[in-house]
């Protein structure tokens, strides 16, 4: 069996460019040290309503004893509570060293990407190289913590240039309307605006677009800078002056520091990796004009085509998975979609034993006994490796995946929880070819489809129990559990007609409880109901599997038997009497539970004989009661 040393990585929004590059650096360095990286990712902060509450189930997946060390990218979590829960989880359950990639304080040794001070260098570049004096800052009202640091760096730069900062600070959200309003305010307050330093490239590119739309030349009249170095900003004229993030270097540095801790070496409490300014043309520098945009245009076209294909695939996947009624059918469908995931080498869908457990509320309503599940067991429901589907199996929660799945070709696994709201189903595990350590944004809808499918299967199970309960309420007598009269007629008449067609005998039985009025008057209706239930049990216990039994009214019961001989009919009645006789001997009541009965035996030839037979059985019952009175 192949075993490999592991490190764990906690990160959110793995599809982001920053996160993907960060994990690529970690995975690359981990592989050099002979370690497997297991990456635990969530999508917290996406506005998906109550569905998103289950992101906290990411804490259920890792096994603390499995890891030599952990890297936490706590700066990627948009929900502060989830970030804090993960920190506490690591502190309370993991004894291995932890490195935190974060801009804010942390209880663990930190790797800090210093991407704020380069904003100061951009301001100095605008002032010293291009001689701009009317420089404004357009910050983010969304990412306020990071914005405060970049704003401070901007102010440092302005102070070094001895420039006024009055009416120079503005902020906006990421919407077109928000950026447009902030830019109008800026142009009104600073009529001779020369440069805009933006919080990030997204805002900067929108500012350039608006300025051009309003007749301004960029950088001829107004220079613009960003802070991200997005690919798009570098491929269109004017190429955007920005800040280059050495993100893969941050990942590699984090991994190297972690391995030093693993080998009992000391490291600083904080290690800084510095971002650097990138001077494009949007600030006025002309030497970095972008090359022909043909190849980038082609790349964008290919992305649009892929986006359209993913949209069609998402609709196709959603339509197919929503219609399934069985988990095995669902896995057969899902296997086809899993095989189409680009560069995906391994795909494992793991379900907890109680993934489809009925709710306690439904259990109470439907009188369903609580399901017994092994809380320590995980079901590997769908397993695909190197294009081949593997048999499903169970394994204990001591392992995150069965040991036999690991091999030396895999450099990382990516884990995502499967959930809907607070209900947790299990998790997905994926590995990709090469050192790829992320999935595209479109995979969010892929995950949502899988989660919706599992939720629908749970709902259908609960609904099935409710429908069954409603059918029981409609069809069953509440006191005895036998069919009520309406359901008896619906069930017995077709059986009677089949007996005619197959030339079988039919026996119509009728029973009543002897002395019910006396029991009610002397002992109360509760005891009367109890006696009726005992007679119902006697009839049900004596009847054959194919017999149809019902409570007609009060203490009167009807039974239809097919294929009886006359001797078997008499034996059935005798068995009912014996059951009651034994009951009366074993249970000391102040009254005896007795029955009267009558029956009609025939080989019927037409459907109209159905009513005739029960009329005759009723007369036989009355005669039986009369005979007892005269004895």
Three-state secondary structure call for residue 331: helix
Assign 3-class secondary structure to 502-534: CCCCEEEEEEEEECHHHHHHHHCHHHHHHHHHH
pLDDT, mean of residues 126-153? 93
pLDDT, mean of residues 334-354? 89
Characterize the bridge pairing of strands 98-101 and 69-72. parallel
Residue 2: per-residue pLDDT: 44
Distance CA 518, CA 338 (A): 71
For 248-297, what is each residue's pLDDT tens digit? 899 999 999 999 999 999 999 999 999 999 998 999 987 655 555 666 66
Asked if pLDDT for residue 502 goes beyond 90, the answer is yes
Mention every residue, 6+ apart, whose C-beta is less than 8 A from residue 38: 6, 7, 8, 9, 62, 66, 67, 400, 412, 413, 415
Q: Does domain 485-630 have CATH number 3.30.70.270?
A: yes
User: Hey, what CATH topology would domain 116-226 get?
Assistant: Rossmann fold (3.40.50)
For 198-223, what is each residue's pLDDT tens digit? 999 999 999 999 999 999 999 999 99
For 536-590, what is each residue's pLDDT tens digit? 999 999 999 899 999 998 999 999 999 999 999 999 999 999 999 999 998 878 8
Low-confidence winner among 3-7, 363-367, 410-414, 458-462 (lowest mean pLDDT): 363-367
What is the residue-averaged pLDDT of the chain?
Answer: 88
- DSSP states of 337-387 as a string? HHHTSTTEEEEEEEEETTTTPPPHHHHHHHTPPPP---TTEEEEEEEEETT
pLDDT, mean of residues 349-377? 76
Provide the residue ranges of all domains of the chain, joining segments of one domain with +: 116-226, 485-630
Residue 287: per-residue pLDDT: 60
DSSP state of 565: -
Could you tell me which of 518, 505, 511, 534 has the C-alpha nearest to residue 604? 505
pLDDT over 70 percentage in the chain: 93
Residue 16: per-residue pLDDT: 81
Judge whether 116-226 and 485-630 match in fold. no
Low-confidence winner among 43-47, 477-481, 495-499, 515-519 (lowest mean pLDDT): 43-47
Distance CA 165, CA 187 (A): 15
Residue 371: per-residue pLDDT: 62
Q: Residue 359: which pLDDT band, with cuts at 50, 70 and 90?
A: confident
In degrees and rounded to multiples of 5, residue 310 shows phi and psi of -65, -35
Q: Residue 233: which pLDDT band, with cuts at 50, 70 and 90?
A: low
Residue 487, H or E segment: helix 485-501
pTM for the structure as a whole: 0.73
pLDDT over 90 percentage in the chain: 60
Residue 430, H or E segment: strand 423-432
Give 383 or 359, the one with higher predicted confidence: 383
């Amino acid at each position: 069996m192949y075993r490999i040393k592991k490190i764990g990585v906690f990160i959110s929004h793995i599809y982001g460019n920053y996160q993907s590059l960060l994990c690529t650096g970690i995975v690359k360095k981990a592989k050099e040290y002979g370690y497997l990286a297991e990456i635990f990712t969530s999508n917290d902060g996406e506005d998906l309503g109550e569905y998103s509450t289950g992101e906290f189930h990411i804490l259920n997946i890792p096994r603390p004893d499995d890891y030599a060390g952990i890297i936490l990218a706590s700066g990627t979590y948009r929900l502060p509570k989830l970030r804090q829960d993960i920190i506490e989880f690591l502190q309370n359950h993991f004894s291995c060293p932890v490195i935190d990639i974060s801009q804010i304080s942390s209880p663990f040794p930190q790797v800090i990407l210093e991407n704020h001070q380069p904003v100061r260098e951009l301001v100095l570049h605008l002032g010293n190289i291009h001689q701009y004096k009317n420089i404004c800052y357009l910050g983010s009202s969304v990412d306020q913590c990071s914005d405060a640091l970049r704003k401070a760096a901007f102010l440092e730069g302005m102070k070094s240039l001895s420039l006024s900062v009055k009416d120079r600070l503005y902020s906006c959200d990421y919407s077109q309307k928000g950026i447009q309003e902030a830019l109008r305010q800026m142009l009104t307050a600073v009529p001779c605006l020369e440069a805009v330093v933006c919080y990030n490239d997204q805002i900067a590119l929108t500012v350039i677009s608006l300025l051009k739309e309003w007749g301004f030349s960029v950088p001829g009249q107004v220079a613009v800078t960003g802070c991200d170095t997005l690919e798009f900003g570098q491929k269109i004229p004017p190429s955007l002056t920005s800040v280059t993030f050495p993100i893969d270097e941050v990942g590699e540095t984090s991994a190297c520091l972690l391995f030093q801790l693993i080998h009992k070496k000391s490291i600083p409490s904080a290690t800084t990796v510095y971002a650097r300014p990138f001077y494009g043309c949007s600030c006025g520098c002309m030497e970095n004009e972008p090359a022909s945009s043909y190849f980038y245009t082609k790349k964008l076209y290919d992305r649009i085509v892929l986006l359209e294909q993913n949209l069609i695939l998402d609709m196709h996947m959603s339509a197919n998975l929503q219609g399934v009624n069985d988990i095995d059918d669902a896995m057969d469908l899902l296997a086809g979609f899993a095989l189409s995931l680009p560069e995906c080498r391994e795909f494992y869908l793991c379900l907890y034993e109680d993934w489809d457990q009925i709710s306690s509320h439904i259990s109470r309503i439907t009188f369903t006994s609580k399901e017994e599940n092994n809380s320590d067991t995980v079901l590997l429901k769908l397993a695909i490796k190197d294009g081949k589907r593997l048999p499903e199996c169970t394994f204990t929660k001591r392992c995150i995946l069965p040991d036999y799945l690991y091999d030396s070709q895999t450099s990382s696994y990516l884990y995502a929880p499967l959930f809907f709201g607070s209900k947790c189903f299990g998790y997905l595990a994926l590995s990709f070819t090469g050192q790829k350590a992320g999935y595209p944004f479109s995979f969010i809808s892929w995950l949502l489809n899988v989660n919706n499918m599992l939720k629908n299967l749970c709902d259908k199970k609960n609904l099935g129990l409710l429908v069954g309960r409603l059918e029981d309420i409609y069809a069953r007598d509440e006191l005895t559990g036998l069919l009520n009269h309406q359901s008896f007629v619906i069930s017995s008449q077709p059986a009677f007609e089949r007996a005619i067609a197959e030339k079988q005998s039919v026996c119509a039985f009728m029973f009543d409880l002897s002395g019910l009025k006396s029991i009610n008057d002397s002992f109360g209706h509760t005891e009367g109901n109890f006696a009726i239930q005992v007679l119902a049990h006697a009839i049900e216990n004596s009847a054959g599997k194919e017999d149809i039994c019902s409570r007609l009214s009060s203490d009167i019961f009807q039974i239809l038997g097919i294929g009886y001989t006359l001797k078997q009919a008499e034996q059935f009645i005798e068995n009912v009497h014996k059951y009651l006789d034994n009951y009366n001997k074993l249970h000391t009541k102040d009254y005896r539970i007795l029955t009267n009965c009558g029956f009609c035996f025939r080989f019927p030839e037409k459907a109209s004989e159905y009513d005739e037979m029960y009329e005759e059985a009723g007369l036989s019952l009355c005669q039986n009661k009369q005979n007892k009175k005269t004895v």
